[in-house]
Chains A and B, each alone.
Chain A
Amino acid sequence: MKLVIIAGTPGAGKTSILINTIKILKGTITKPAVVKVDCLATDDDKRFATLNIPVLTGLSRDMCPDHFSIYNLDEMIKFADKNSADTLIMETAGLCHRCAPYTDNCLGICVIDSTSGPNNPGKTGPFLSCADIVVVTKGDMISQAEREIFREKILEANPVCKILDINGLNGQGAAELAKHIIAFDKKVTDRERLRHNAPFSVCTLCVGEQRVSKKYHRGLLRNMNGFQKYIGE
């Protein structure tokens, strides 16, 4: 089973890119299955259903969405297997820019919106810096100069990635992404590891704390001045 993981900021165009790419993949020997993870609600299952391929959606709710995706990876692979797919494409809803959902043997694709400004690639963090392919969307809305600056800033953050410009609305460029997915030849193993670590320690907010005052917080805590300490057992 090939594993393709797609991450990106909300509204960057992950689903649109994916739909255009899958339309092309369907005309090849590839048999794709899609898993879409969202946080609170999704109607993307309806969008994917029109493609006539196996689709599974999951809502992470109270769990961190990237953690949810990784935690359920085995189940997703079983789903793809059962539906005799050979390529599992997983679209995550990763949000915090601090971790990256890619495993060692997946094809990691980061989708980034070029209208988000030239400083954004530097701020996007590991899901851009450890991606294999960076897809730039909405390039038709900004000037050539900004597109070139944006591309340079991506290469500063991730010098080895491939950059593809894709228009999510009309699918221009999606054929190139499909080619990369077809040519990708690593198989997922039962000993997958994440490429990048998540933030350290347990977060008090994650376990339900709502009070703001400093004295209620435990774990790895960092002050505005950069001083960092661990409070807890």
Chain B
Amino acid sequence: MEQIRNIKIIGGIDKSGKHENIKCFDIAQGEIIGIVGPTGSGKSQLIADIEQLSQKDSSTRRQILINGEIPSSELRNNPRQKLVAQLSQNMNFLADMNVKDFLLLHAQCRGKSMKNIDKIIYMANQLTGEPIKPKDNLTILSGGQTRALMVADVAVISESPIVLIDEIENAGIKKHEALELLSGYNKIILIVTHDPVMALSAQKRIIMKNGGMTAVIDASPEEKTISSQLSKVDQTMLKLREMIRNGQHIEEKDINQIFLKPTVNNKMATLIHH
């Protein structure tokens, strides 16, 4: 597959037929972009335009360029070259198989090496509190395990260079690490979200209003710090959840760690770079 170095969104019109504020917006490989705005502001349509590689032929008249050029019809039509992989809260595993067999089948379909399977399960287990075992049936995995496995699978097996994450807010996984894992594979990541942890994890965010892109905001240094703190809150919630599940009592010291200095998940970082 052709390498995707960047995508360019050329602005069209909003719901009132006026030109969008943002005339042109580039997203480079490995970048994480948030898409925020009230319900009905056109977030999903923007995603749809990117997914379909619209050429001024959708209701918004937007155009999407790949590496600065109009994408070939091969790229638009060949089902094996689907550019966008999606992750959302409503998605489930429905196949009645165990985790290992399922990953093997997926790897086989994509012509990928089978030796990645244990790595995927290991990575997924870094994102969730409850470990996934290779012989677990897919359909009995919890919400958090399911989402974690989906993220790791998209990172390693799916070749799609663009990943779209649609409101994955209450997934019960370490969101920060999940994003790091995906961007570590040099994917372009677009996150539609109402969740501050997710929105502030993005380097830039597109503000949507009345069907149009009204502004693009760079995350400020202060927001980056806040983002790390929020990520801590997130992890504490996950940890508390596990403790309650295991029949433990919660003490004050268990919440106090929210306000400690954030540490980098070194294990994860090492994995990504290998």
Pick from B48, B79, B150: contact of A145, CB under 8 Å: B150
SS of A interface (majority): helix
Pick from A118, A141, A175: contact of B52, CB under 8 Å: A175
Total chain B interface residues with beta-carbon distance under 8 A: 34
- Considering only residues 98-119 of chain B, those with a C-beta below 8 Å from chain A are 102-103, 105-106, 109-110
Kindly name the residue among A115, A144, A148, A162 whose own CB sees the greatest number of chain B CB atoms within 10 A: A144
Is the CB of B20 closer than 8 A to any CB of chain A?
no
Pick from A117, A154, A173, A175: contact of B95, CB under 8 Å: A117
Do A145 and B52 touch (CB < 8 A)?
no
Is the CB of A170 closer than 8 A to any CB of chain B?
yes
Is the CB of B88 closer than 8 A to any CB of chain A?
yes
Is the CB of B260 closer than 8 A to any CB of chain A?
no
Is the CB of A104 closer than 8 A to any CB of chain B?
no
Is the CB of B92 closer than 8 A to any CB of chain A?
yes
What is the CA–CA distance of A165 and B76 in the complex, to the nearest angstrom? 12
Is the CB of B158 closer than 8 A to any CB of chain A?
yes
Determine how close the nearest CB of chain B comes to the CB of A158; give it in whole angstroms. Answer: 11
- CB neighbours (8 Å) of B87 from chain A are 144
* Contact (A162, B91) CB under 8 Å given A148-B158, A172-B44: no
Pick from A142, A145, A175: contact of B106, CB under 8 Å: A145
- CB neighbours (8 Å) of B79 from chain A are 151, 154-155, 162-163
Is the CB of A75 closer than 8 A to any CB of chain B?
no
- Considering only residues 114-151 of chain A, those with a C-beta below 8 Å from chain B are 115, 117-118, 139-146, 148-149, 151
* Contact (A144, B85) CB under 8 Å given A117-B94, A172-B44: yes
Do A115 and B94 touch (CB < 8 A)?
yes
Is the CB of A176 closer than 8 A to any CB of chain B?
yes
Do A144 and B52 touch (CB < 8 A)?
no
Pick from A118, A142, A152, A176: contact of B92, CB under 8 Å: A142
What is the CA–CA distance of A141 and B89 in the complex, to the nearest angstrom? 9
Is the CB of A179 closer than 8 A to any CB of chain B?
yes
What is the CA–CA distance of A115 and B150 in the complex, to the nearest angstrom? 16
- CB neighbours (8 Å) of B154 from chain A are 144-145
What is the CA–CA distance of A146 and B138 in the complex, to the nearest angstrom? 11
Determine how close the nearest CB of chain B comes to the CB of A21; give it in whole angstroms. Answer: 14
- CB neighbours (8 Å) of B86 from chain A are 139-140, 144
Do B58 and A143 touch (CB < 8 A)?
no
Do B52 and A140 touch (CB < 8 A)?
no
Is the CB of B64 closer than 8 A to any CB of chain A?
no
* Contact (A143, B90) CB under 8 Å given A149-B106, A149-B109: no
What is the CA–CA distance of A155 and B111 in the complex, to the nearest angstrom? 14
Do B157 and A145 touch (CB < 8 A)?
yes
- CB neighbours (8 Å) of B44 from chain A are 170, 172
Do A175 and B92 touch (CB < 8 A)?
no
* Contact (A145, B57) CB under 8 Å given A140-B90, A175-B52: no
Determine how close the nearest CB of chain A comes to the CB of B96; give it in whole angstroms. Answer: 8
Pick from B51, B52, B94: contact of A146, CB under 8 Å: B94
* Contact (A144, B153) CB under 8 Å given A172-B48, A175-B58: yes
Do B94 and A142 touch (CB < 8 A)?
yes
Do B90 and A144 touch (CB < 8 A)?
no
* Contact (A143, B52) CB under 8 Å given A118-B105, A148-B158, A149-B109: no
Identify the closest chain A residue to B96 (Cβ).
A117
- CB neighbours (8 Å) of A141 from chain B are 90-92, 94
- Considering only residues 129-152 of chain B, those with a C-beta below 8 Å from chain A are 146, 150
What is the CA–CA distance of A163 and B79 in the complex, to the nearest angstrom? 6
Lowest 5 A-B CB distances belong to which pairs?
A163-B79, A152-B109, A145-B106, A144-B85, A172-B48
A140-B90, A149-B95 are known; give 16 further A-B pairs, CB within 8 A. A139-B86, A141-B91, A142-B92, A142-B93, A142-B94, A143-B150, A143-B153, A145-B93, A148-B110, A149-B105, A149-B106, A152-B109, A162-B77, A162-B79, A172-B48, A172-B51
Query: What are 25 sample pairs from A and B whose C-beta atoms fall under 8 A apart?
Result: A117-B96, A140-B86, A142-B94, A143-B91, A143-B93, A143-B153, A144-B85, A144-B91, A144-B150, A144-B154, A145-B102, A145-B103, A145-B158, A146-B93, A146-B94, A148-B110, A148-B158, A152-B109, A154-B79, A155-B79, A162-B79, A163-B79, A172-B48, A173-B52, A179-B57
